[in-house]
Structure 1
């Protein structure tokens, strides 16, 4: 009886260890996309506005290339990449939206972001960050989280 209890206890502990190991998110490499701005006709709500963009038509509906010294901007390659973006309404305070990390947990891509506030400005600025990740066919949901690890928005990856 004692042997059976020991075996049963070890089995239960092993099962919890397996569940815990499966639940650990894996880091995902991402790359910032530079030199694009949010188009003026995009309506924003207060706080974080999040997008998962799967094709060039969606991307071009939201963003336009910014003028640079070389006027060279490279759009994402949607055949191999998925775009995630986070914006906030225009503000007269230096505001930076940062993607701290992107992780994969099962079939959920988790995007963790935060906002950093700076000095007051005499003009309005548009806080925006855009990043690409390698396209993964098994991603079913893309979820955005704030710095307190609270869900901001989740959407199907399609």
Structure 2
């Protein structure tokens, strides 16, 4: 844990800068997939970026960000056919990344808390899971996603 408020704010600022880059990379990969559906490098890159984002969020105890990033990454990783994502699946992933971007901006710099209703995260993950058939991963909508640090 951070020793003082300044140390926390520096760590959070660094996280936000890194997370913006990781999210931008994920969005770039998604745009690439919209043009070239069967690009395994774009799929791998998006998964890697989201996984790294989840790990970095976890290291600062930003649970809501970490869980949401991990859920998105798992939907892609466990897709029955990740190289054949249709327009609705890509749109659902885009909506998830858009919400994630908003959430990253809304983290309270003093507390690290994200004061949002978790309903939108849950709804977007459920929608994405319907659009992306899963081979061995099943999202349970009753699972609670947490937004607090």
* The structure with more helix, counted as a fraction of residues: 2
Q: Could you state the TM-score of these two structures normalised by the residue count of structure 2?
A: 0.25
Q: Could you state the TM-score of these two structures normalised by the residue count of structure 1?
A: 0.24
